[in-house]
Amino acid sequence: MVLSGADKNNVKGVFAKIGGQAEEYGAETLERMFAAYPQTKTYFPHFDLGKGSAQVKGHGKKVAAALVEAANHIDDIAGALSKLSDLHAQKLRVDPVNFKLLGQCFLVVVASHNPALLTPEVHASLDKFLCAVGTVLTAKYR
Amino acid sequence: MVHWSAEEKQLISSVWGKVNVEECGAEALARLLIVYPWTQRFFDNFGNLSSPTAIIGNPKVRAHGKKVLTSFGEAIKNLENLKATYSKLSELHCDKLHVDPENFRLLGDILIIVLSAHFGKDFTPSCQATWQKLVGVVAHALAHKYH
The pLDDT, as a whole number, for residue A14 is: 98
pLDDT per residue over A72-113, tens digit each?
Answer: 999 999 999 999 999 999 999 999 999 999 999 999 999 999
Instruction: Please check whether residue B25 lies inside any domain of the structure.
Output: yes
Residue A141 has pLDDT above 90, yes or no: yes
Residue B74 has pLDDT above 90, yes or no: yes
Instruction: Please check whether residue B41 lies inside any domain of the structure.
Output: yes
Question: What is the average pLDDT score of chain A?
Answer: 97
Instruction: Please check whether residue B62 lies inside any domain of the structure.
Output: yes
Kindly give the interhelix angle for A54-72 and A5-18, rounded to the nearest 10 degrees.
Answer: 140
- A88 to chain B, any CB pair closer than 8 A? The answer is no
The pLDDT, as a whole number, for residue B25 is: 98
Instruction: Please check whether residue B138 lies inside any domain of the structure.
Output: yes
| Subunit contact B34:A124, Cβ cutoff 8 A | yes
Number of domains in chain A: 1
The pLDDT, as a whole number, for residue B1 is: 78
Nearest to A112 among B34, B120, B126 (CB): B120
The pLDDT, as a whole number, for residue A115 is: 97
Instruction: Please check whether residue B1 lies inside any domain of the structure.
Output: no
| Subunit contact B123:A115, Cβ cutoff 8 A | no
| Subunit contact B31:A31, Cβ cutoff 8 A | no
Yes or no: say if B144 and B83 are a contact pair by the CB < 8 Å rule.
yes
Nearest chain A residue to B108 by CA: give it: A104
Average pLDDT estimate for B7-35: 97
For residue B120, which residues of chain A lie inside 8 Å, CB to CB? Answer: 112-113, 115
**What's the CATH code of the domain at B23?**
1.10.490.10
Q: How far apart are CA B34 and CA B40, in angstroms?
A: 9
Average pLDDT estimate for B41-48: 94
Residue A39 has pLDDT above 80, yes or no: yes
- A23 to chain B, any CB pair closer than 8 A? The answer is no
Q: How many CB pairs (< 8 A) connect A and B? A: 61
- B109 to chain A, any CB pair closer than 8 A? The answer is yes
Average pLDDT estimate for B84-97: 95
For residue A107, which residues of chain B lie inside 8 Å, CB to CB? Answer: 113
The pLDDT, as a whole number, for residue B28 is: 98
For residue A121, which residues of chain B lie inside 8 Å, CB to CB? Answer: 34, 52
Number of domains in chain B: 1
The pLDDT-based confidence of A67 (bands split at 50, 70, 90) is very high
Amino acid identity of residue B141, one-letter, is A
| Subunit contact B123:A35, Cβ cutoff 8 A | no
The pLDDT, as a whole number, for residue B131 is: 98
- Is the whole-model pTM more than 0.90? yes
**Min Cα separation B15/chain A (Å):** 14
Question: What is the average pLDDT score of chain B?
Answer: 96
How many C-beta atoms lie closer than 10 Å to residue A51's C-beta?
A: 9
Yes or no: say if A17 and A117 are a contact pair by the CB < 8 Å rule.
yes
| Subunit contact B117:A32, Cβ cutoff 8 A | no
The pLDDT-based confidence of A44 (bands split at 50, 70, 90) is very high
The pLDDT-based confidence of A1 (bands split at 50, 70, 90) is confident
Q: Determine the structural domain holding residue B133 and report its residue range.
A: 6-143
For residue B52, which residues of chain A lie inside 8 Å, CB to CB? Answer: 119-121, 124
The alpha carbon of residue B37 and the mean position of all alpha carbons in its chain are separated, in whole angstroms, by 17
Yes or no: say if B106 and B31 are a contact pair by the CB < 8 Å rule.
no
Question: What percent of chain A is modeled with pLDDT above 90?
Answer: 99
| Subunit contact A112:B112, Cβ cutoff 8 A | no
| Subunit contact B34:A120, Cβ cutoff 8 A | yes
Yes or no: say if A33 and A101 are a contact pair by the CB < 8 Å rule.
yes
**What's the CATH code of the domain at A121?**
1.10.490.10
